[in-house]
Chains A and B, each alone.
Chain A
Amino acid sequence: MIAAWYGVVSFMLIAYVALDGRNFGVGMLHWLVARTPAERRQVAAAIGPLWSWDEVWLIAFGGALVVAFPRLLASAFAGYYLALFLILWCLVLRGVSLEVGGVVDDRLWHGFWDFVFAFSSSLLAILFGAAAGNVARGVPLDARGEFSMAFFTDWRVTGEVGLLDWYTVSVGVFAAVVLAAHGATYLTWKTEGPVHERSRFFAKRFWFAALPLFAAVSVESWVVRPEVPEHAFGNPLCWLGLFGVAASIVALLSAFAKGREGRAFAASCFLLVAILATGAAAIFPVMLHSTLAPESSLTAYDVASSPTALWLASLWWPIALALTLAYYVAISRRFAGKVGVTSP
Chain B
Amino acid sequence: MFSDPSFWSRLQFGFTVTYHYLFPQLTMGLAWFLVYWKWRALRTGNEEYDRAVRFWAHIFGLNFAVGVVTGIPMEFQFGTNWAGFTRQSGGVIGQTLAMEGMFAFFLESAFIGALLFGEKRLGPRGHFAAALAVALGSWLSAYFILVTNAFMQYPQGYVVLADGSLGIGAASDYLLNPWAWIQFAHNQLAALVTGSFAVASIGAFYALRGVHLVQSRLYLRAGTAVGLVASLLVAFPTGDQQAKMVARHQPVTLAAMEGRFASGPMAGIAVIGQPNLAEKRLDNPIEIPGALSFLAYGTFASVVHGLDEYPEDVWPDNIELLYYAFHLMITLGTLFILLMAAGAFQSWRGRLESSRGLLWLLFLSLPFPYIANTLGWLTAELGRQPWLIYGLFRTRDGYSRVVSNGDVIFTLIGFTGLYFVLGVLFLVLVGREIGHGPEEEQA
- Which of B85-93, B261-269, B292-300 is near enough to bind chain A? B85-93
- Which of B39-47, B302-310, B398-406 is near enough to bind chain A? B398-406
Interfacial chain B residues near A103, Cβ < 8 Å: 62, 429
Q: Cβ of B65 and Cβ of A95 under 8 Å apart?
A: yes
Known: A74-B79, A312-B168. A53 touches B90 (CB 8 A): no
B contacts, CB < 8 Å to A:
61-62, 65-66, 68-70, 72-73, 75-76, 78-81, 83-84, 86-87, 89-95, 97-103, 105-107, 109-114, 116-118, 121-122, 126, 133, 159, 161, 167-169, 171, 400-404, 407, 410-411, 414, 418, 422, 425, 429, 432
Rounded to whole angstroms, the CA-CA distance of A331 and B110 in the bound complex is: 7
The distance from the CB of A324 to the nearest CB of chain B, in whole angstroms, is 4
Range class of the A interface residue count: 35 or more
Residues 308-320 of chain A, each 1 if its beta carbon lies under 8 Å from chain B, else 0: 1100110011001
Interfacial chain B residues near A305, Cβ < 8 Å: 90-91, 94, 167-168
- By secondary structure, the B interface counts as helix
Q: Cβ of A306 and Cβ of B69 under 8 Å apart?
A: no
Of the candidates A53, A100, A334, the one whose C-beta lies within 8 Å of that of B106 is: A53
Known: A71-B87, A85-B414. A77 touches B80 (CB 8 A): yes
Q: Cβ of A309 and Cβ of B94 under 8 Å apart?
A: yes
- Which of A59-67, A195-203, A226-234 is near enough to bind chain B? A59-67
Q: Cβ of B98 and Cβ of A64 under 8 Å apart?
A: yes
Of the candidates B62, B70, B407, B410, the one whose C-beta lies within 8 Å of that of A92 is: B70
Q: Cβ of A59 and Cβ of B105 under 8 Å apart?
A: yes
* Residue A91 interfacial (CB < 8 Å): yes
Chain B: which residue is nearest A320 at the CB level? B102
Contacts A81-B402, A81-B407, A334-B114 supplied; 4 other A-B pairs, CB < 8 Å: A64-B98, A99-B62, A308-B169, A327-B107
- Which of A44-52, A162-170, A235-243 is near enough to bind chain B? A44-52
Interfacial chain B residues near A324, Cβ < 8 Å: 102, 106-107, 110
Rounded to whole angstroms, the CA-CA distance of A91 and B400 in the bound complex is: 23
Q: Cβ of A78 and Cβ of B65 under 8 Å apart?
A: no
Rounded to whole angstroms, the CA-CA distance of A99 and B69 in the bound complex is: 10
Pairs A-B, 7 closest by C-beta atoms: A70-B90, A49-B113, A77-B79, A63-B98, A66-B94, A320-B102, A306-B167
* Residue A68 interfacial (CB < 8 Å): yes
Rounded to whole angstroms, the CA-CA distance of A80 and B99 in the bound complex is: 25
* Residue A188 interfacial (CB < 8 Å): no
Rounded to whole angstroms, the CA-CA distance of A305 and B121 in the bound complex is: 45
* Residue A21 interfacial (CB < 8 Å): no
Interfacial chain B residues near A62, Cβ < 8 Å: 75-76, 79, 97, 101
Query: Which interface residue of B65, B72, B79, B81 has the most chain A CB atoms within 10 A?
Result: B79
Chain B: which residue is nearest A85 at the CB level? B411
Interfacial chain A residues near B122, Cβ < 8 Å: 334
The distance from the CB of B280 to the nearest CB of chain A, in whole angstroms, is 39
The distance from the CB of B356 to the nearest CB of chain A, in whole angstroms, is 33
Chain A: which residue is nearest B114 at the CB level? A331
* Residue A138 interfacial (CB < 8 Å): no
Q: Cβ of A70 and Cβ of B94 under 8 Å apart?
A: yes
Q: Cβ of A77 and Cβ of B94 under 8 Å apart?
A: no
Known: A79-B402, A99-B65, A321-B102. A66 touches B90 (CB 8 A): yes
Known: A78-B402, A146-B402, A331-B111. A323 touches B68 (CB 8 A): no
Of the candidates A48, A76, A146, the one whose C-beta lies within 8 Å of that of B113 is: A48
Rounded to whole angstroms, the CA-CA distance of A305 and B69 in the bound complex is: 29
Q: Cβ of B116 and Cβ of A49 under 8 Å apart?
A: yes
Rounded to whole angstroms, the CA-CA distance of A52 and B73 in the bound complex is: 15
Query: Which interface residue of A76, A148, A305 has the most chain B CB atoms within 10 A?
Result: A305
Rounded to whole angstroms, the CA-CA distance of A52 and B112 in the bound complex is: 9
* Residue A56 interfacial (CB < 8 Å): yes
Q: Cβ of B79 and Cβ of A67 under 8 Å apart?
A: no
Interfacial chain B residues near A152, Cβ < 8 Å: none
Q: Cβ of A52 and Cβ of B79 under 8 Å apart?
A: no
The distance from the CB of A26 to the nearest CB of chain B, in whole angstroms, is 16
Across chains A and B, the number of contacting residue pairs, with CB separation under 8 Å, is 220
The distance from the CB of B95 to the nearest CB of chain A, in whole angstroms, is 6
- By secondary structure, the A interface counts as helix
* Residue A208 interfacial (CB < 8 Å): no
Q: Cβ of A81 and Cβ of B403 under 8 Å apart?
A: yes
Query: Which interface residue of B78, B168, B169 has the most chain A CB atoms within 10 A?
Result: B168
Of the candidates A53, A63, A70, A96, the one whose C-beta lies within 8 Å of that of B110 is: A53
Q: Cβ of B414 and Cβ of A66 under 8 Å apart?
A: no
Interfacial chain A residues near B61, Cβ < 8 Å: 99
Interfacial chain A residues near B117, Cβ < 8 Å: 49
Known: A77-B76, A323-B103, A331-B114. A67 touches B83 (CB 8 A): no
Within A120-167, the residues touching B (CB, 8 Å) are 146-148
Q: Cβ of A88 and Cβ of B76 under 8 Å apart?
A: yes
Q: Cβ of B171 and Cβ of A59 under 8 Å apart?
A: no
Q: Cβ of B90 and Cβ of A82 under 8 Å apart?
A: no
The distance from the CB of A197 to the nearest CB of chain B, in whole angstroms, is 27
Residues 298-310 of chain A, each 1 if its beta carbon lies under 8 Å from chain B, else 0: 0000000110110
* Residue A84 interfacial (CB < 8 Å): yes
Q: Cβ of B87 and Cβ of A74 under 8 Å apart?
A: yes
Provide a sorted-by-A list of 7 A–B residue pairs whose CB atoms are within 8 angstroms: A62-B101, A81-B400, A308-B159, A309-B91, A309-B94, A312-B171, A323-B106
Q: Cβ of B103 and Cβ of A67 under 8 Å apart?
A: no
Interfacial chain A residues near B81, Cβ < 8 Å: 78
Rounded to whole angstroms, the CA-CA distance of A211 and B410 in the bound complex is: 39
Of the candidates A58, A73, A82, the one whose C-beta lies within 8 Å of that of B79 is: A73
* Residue A89 interfacial (CB < 8 Å): yes
Q: Cβ of A74 and Cβ of B98 under 8 Å apart?
A: no
* Residue A75 interfacial (CB < 8 Å): yes
The distance from the CB of B37 to the nearest CB of chain A, in whole angstroms, is 21
Q: Cβ of A63 and Cβ of B99 under 8 Å apart?
A: yes
The distance from the CB of A294 to the nearest CB of chain B, in whole angstroms, is 20
Of the candidates B66, B86, B126, B168, the one whose C-beta lies within 8 Å of that of A309 is: B168
Interfacial chain A residues near B112, Cβ < 8 Å: 49, 52
The distance from the CB of B23 to the nearest CB of chain A, in whole angstroms, is 12
Interfacial chain A residues near B107, Cβ < 8 Å: 323-324, 327
Q: Cβ of B94 and Cβ of A50 under 8 Å apart?
A: no
Interfacial chain B residues near A70, Cβ < 8 Å: 86-87, 89-91, 94
Interfacial chain B residues near A192, Cβ < 8 Å: none
The distance from the CB of A274 to the nearest CB of chain B, in whole angstroms, is 25
Q: Cβ of A52 and Cβ of B113 under 8 Å apart?
A: yes
Chain B: which residue is nearest A344 at the CB level? B117
Residues 331-342 of chain A, each 1 if its beta carbon lies under 8 Å from chain B, else 0: 100110000000
Rounded to whole angstroms, the CA-CA distance of A95 and B418 in the bound complex is: 13
Rounded to whole angstroms, the CA-CA distance of A96 and B114 in the bound complex is: 18
The distance from the CB of B116 to the nearest CB of chain A, in whole angstroms, is 7
Q: Cβ of B86 and Cβ of A66 under 8 Å apart?
A: yes
The distance from the CB of A75 to the nearest CB of chain B, in whole angstroms, is 7
Of the candidates A73, A95, A148, the one whose C-beta lies within 8 Å of that of B78 is: A73
Q: Cβ of A81 and Cβ of B95 under 8 Å apart?
A: no
Interfacial chain A residues near B403, Cβ < 8 Å: 78, 81, 148
Of the candidates A52, A66, A76, A78, the one whose C-beta lies within 8 Å of that of B109 is: A52
* Residue A55 interfacial (CB < 8 Å): yes
